[in-house]
A and B are shown apart, each in its own frame.
Chain A
Amino acid sequence: MTADAGRQAADASARVNWKKINERIRSVREPRWFPVLLIVASCVPAAMAIGGMASDIIGNTRFFGSHPVKEGEHFLGEWTLRFLIATLAVTPLRQLLGWNWLAKHRRTMGLFAFGYVMLHWLTYALLDVQLNWADLTKDLMKRPYIMIGMAALLLMLPLAFTSTKNMIRRLGGRRWYRLHQLVYFVPVLGVTHYWMSVKADVTDPVIFATIFAVLYAYRIWKWWMRRRPVPAPAPAPALRARAS
Chain B
Amino acid sequence: MLIRRADYIKSSEITPESLYVSRRAFLSAAAVLGAGALAGAPPRAWGEGPAIQEPQPVGKPYGLQKDDKPTPWEDVTNYNNFYEFGSDKSDPAANAKAFKTRPWTVKVDGLVNKPGDYQLEDFIKPSTLEDRIYRHRCVEAWSMVVPWRGFPLADVLKRADPASKAKFVEFTTLLDPNQMPGQRTGMLPWPYTEGLRLDEAMHPLTLLVTGLYGRTLPNQNGAPLRLVVPWKYGFKGAKSIVRIRLTDTQPQTAWNRSAPQEYGFYSNVNPEVDHPRWSQASEKRIGVFFRIKTLMFNGYADQVASLYAGMDLRKNY
Alpha-carbon gap, A130 to B291, bound state (A): 8
Choice from B39, B44, B78 contacting A45 with Cβ under 8 Å? B39
Choice from A41, A66, A143, A203 contacting B277 with Cβ under 8 Å? A143
Closest B residue, CB atoms, query A79: B39
In the complex, are the beta carbons of A65 and B44 less than 8 A apart?
A: yes
In the complex, are the beta carbons of B43 and A71 less than 8 A apart?
A: yes
A222 within 8 A of B: no
- Size bracket, chain A contacts: 20 to 34
Known contacts A66-B75, A75-B43; decide if A200 and B278 are in contact (CB<8 Å).
no
Alpha-carbon gap, A128 to B75, bound state (A): 19
A178 within 8 A of B: no
In the complex, are the beta carbons of A45 and B48 less than 8 A apart?
A: no
Alpha-carbon gap, A142 to B280, bound state (A): 14
Mark A89-129 against chain B: 1 for CB-CB distance below 8 A, else 0: 00000000000000000000000000000000000000010
In the complex, are the beta carbons of A64 and B289 less than 8 A apart?
A: no
B261 within 8 A of A: no
Alpha-carbon gap, A71 to B83, bound state (A): 18
In the complex, are the beta carbons of A70 and B284 less than 8 A apart?
A: yes
Known contacts A200-B187, A200-B258; decide if A66 and B282 are in contact (CB<8 Å).
no
In the complex, are the beta carbons of A138 and B46 less than 8 A apart?
A: no
Alpha-carbon gap, A174 to B140, bound state (A): 47
In the complex, are the beta carbons of B83 and A200 less than 8 A apart?
A: yes
Mark A126-162 against chain B: 1 for CB-CB distance below 8 A, else 0: 0010101001001100110100000000000000000
Choice from B74, B274, B276, B289 contacting A57 with Cβ under 8 Å? B289
A199 within 8 A of B: yes
Choice from A57, A71, A135 contacting B279 with Cβ under 8 Å? A135
B3 within 8 A of A: no
In the complex, are the beta carbons of B289 and A143 less than 8 A apart?
A: no
Mark B273-300 against chain A: 1 for CB-CB distance below 8 A, else 0: 0101111011010110111000000000
Choice from B46, B282, B284 contacting A135 with Cβ under 8 Å? B282
Q: Which residues of chain B are near A65, meaning CB under 8 Å? A: 43-44, 78-79, 89-90
B188 within 8 A of A: yes
Q: Which residues of chain B are near A143, meaning CB under 8 Å? A: 276-278
Alpha-carbon gap, A182 to B221, bound state (A): 47
Alpha-carbon gap, A199 to B233, bound state (A): 15
> Which residues of B, 183-214, contact A by the 8 Å Cβ criterion?
185, 187-188
Known contacts A135-B279, A139-B279, A143-B276; decide if A66 and B43 are in contact (CB<8 Å).
no
Mark B48-60 against chain A: 1 for CB-CB distance below 8 A, else 0: 1010000000000
Would you list the 6 A-B pairs with minimal beta carbon distance, nearest first?
A201-B87, A66-B79, A66-B75, A65-B44, A200-B187, A71-B43
